[in-house]
Amino acid sequence: MKRRQFFKGGVVTGALVGITGVSAEELPKTPKQVEGPFYPVVAQKDKDFDLTKIEGQEGTAQGKVVIISGAILNTDGTPIEDATVDLWQANAAGRYNHPTDKNEAPLDTNFQGWAIVPSGKKGEFKFKTIVPGSYPASKDWSRPPHIHFKVSKLGFVELITQMYFPGEKLNDSDKLLQRVPEADRASLIAKLIPGEPETYEFKIVLEKA
């Protein structure tokens, strides 16, 4: 499938049904999380929606390919068009392409690792990636698979957060996720949408500035 066709063709049919509808009640804003030390600092031209391929290279990233789809919403449920969705993650072995990452896991030269995409007219975003690996944050703490998001739009408060995968045992012991109030924790864990490849749905709610 061509990259442009992936973005326009709607690989995930119906994955966002109901996610962008306006609710009668105010939506809770998505909890903040720390940016972490591995925000990309190495310049790269390719920051599109497909992290499994790097433009100009024939190889494909190692790991389980998944689709991440979702929407950027206002607290009143209104979709936010043209928000900047900036995301980055570790590769399948749990290593970031960052000069300060001391993890001895191998780098994956075919993994893009970083994307910046706009939300569409319905606030929707979608990208193709691989499930990131877990990695040691300290001697007694391993971080679960997660994806970092930084979302911004003029008139709204910039949000830095992290998306987690459902069913991961390390979620229960992760020091960052467990700091989030229990009532809000589920909003940071994506919902699995059955299909091939697997799709995970993640809704992000911004508050007005």
- Positions annotated as catalytic residues are 96, 135, 143, 146, 148
Taken in order 180, 183, 188, 192, the sign of the CA dihedral is positive
Residues 6+ apart with CB under 8 A from 92: 61, 62, 63, 64, 108, 111, 130, 131, 132, 133
Residues 6+ apart with CB under 8 A from 88: 38, 39, 40, 96, 113, 114, 115, 147, 148
Asked whether the beta carbons of 188 and 179 are under 8 A apart, the reply is: no
Helix (H) or strand (E) segment spanning residue 185: helix 182-185
3-state helix, strand, coil in the chain (%, to 5): 10, 30, 60
